[in-house]
Structure 1
Amino acid sequence: MKRNVIIIFLTMAIILLSPNQINAENHYRPPQEDSTELRLQDMLMNFLDPHINHAVQDYYLDLLSEPPLVYPYFVDVVESHRVNGFRGFILSITLDVIPVVGPHISVGQDRLTFEISAGPEVKLVNYTHFENR
């Protein structure tokens, strides 16, 4: 009887203390309210989405059997600036992204910098992989 209690206790301890699957939803900080800035950022993410996903899928091509996706709500704008001065229309934007596979299982964290110019033309200028998950 005493041995069964110890086995049950140890089993529960192992289950509770084992590392859990980290998923992207744990890292997502939802906005608290809508704003003009948030709408503009969401429009920009819709525009950049194919470029972001193409860059991420290229990076993970040899690492994963299934291509990851980056959903717009798993993108944080780190920095943006005008490359060619005030009212110049060559812009740089740096994004932190969390690529996921399947049911939002994160596979890493990456930082992408794009240069956007008239046309519109979007060019990936830097890709930094921070961590695997």
Structure 2
Amino acid sequence: MKKLILMLLLLCGINGYMIEKMVEASATAASIKLDKPKEDSKELMFQDMLMLFLLPHIDKKIDEIYAKLLNYSPEIYPYFVEVKDVHRVNGFRGFHFSITLEVVPTVGPHIPVGKDILTFDISLQNPDNVELLSWKHLKDPQKSDFPPNWQDVLK
């Protein structure tokens, strides 16, 4: 009987720990804004194509920013990049754009490691059509956001 009670207490403790970790993971996922559109649209398709075009440029700067914070480069998923602002620099039907993006880099199973704002200039005047105008690092990785088996990612 004592063994049964001890086993039940142990199972309750493990269950409580697992529920706590699931709540933490849910809070982390909520901070990434996973409430993205549920259906496709032309605007969403164009935004996704733009992200594919800009992804190498985003990756380059994000790798540079997080090199001193992490032991390896974070991943950038296009659906964790939000367009904050876009405008034509030289007016109606001009092909010179400024685009500001909010980027949430992740590691492993989509663990957010920070938040950054990047502003790009897209035009024919630039050699590869894209130039990073500015960037602002908004949030560092927090050890408390990482499960114990992923904390070795942090420097």
Which range, TM-score by smaller chain? 0.7 to 0.9
Residue 83 of structure 1, CA deviation: 1.4
CA 1:86–1:51 in 2, change beyond 3 Å: closer, same or farther? same
The equivalences for 1:1-133 within 5 A come to: 20-21=24-25, 22-23=28-29, 26-118=32-124, 120-131=128-139, 132-133=141-142
Task: Please provide the CA RMSD for this pair.
Answer: 2.7
Structure 1's unaligned 5+ residue stretches are none
Question: TM-score, normalized by length of structure 1?
Answer: 0.81
- Deviation string 1:26-46 (CA, Å, 9 cap, x unpaired) is 522221211110110011001
Does the residue aligned with 2:69 lie in a helix, a strand or coil? coil
Structure 2's unaligned 5+ residue stretches are 143-155
Does the residue aligned with 2:75 lie in a helix, a strand or coil? coil
Structure richer in strand, relative to its length: 1
CA 1:26–1:81 in 2, change beyond 3 Å: closer, same or farther? closer
Q: How many residues end up aligned between the 2 structures? A: 132
Residue 101 of structure 1, CA deviation: 0.9
Structure richer in helix, relative to its length: 2
Question: TM-score, normalized by length of structure 2?
Answer: 0.70
Q: What one-letter code is carried by the residue in structure 1 that aligns with 2:136?
A: T
Contact between 2:32 and 2:104, CA under 8 Å: does it hold in 1? no
The separation in 1 between residues aligned to 2:105 and 2:62, in whole angstroms, is: 7
Contact between 2:121 and 2:130, CA under 8 Å: does it hold in 1? yes
Q: Percent identity?
A: 45
The separation in 2 between residues aligned to 1:105 and 1:76, in whole angstroms, is: 17
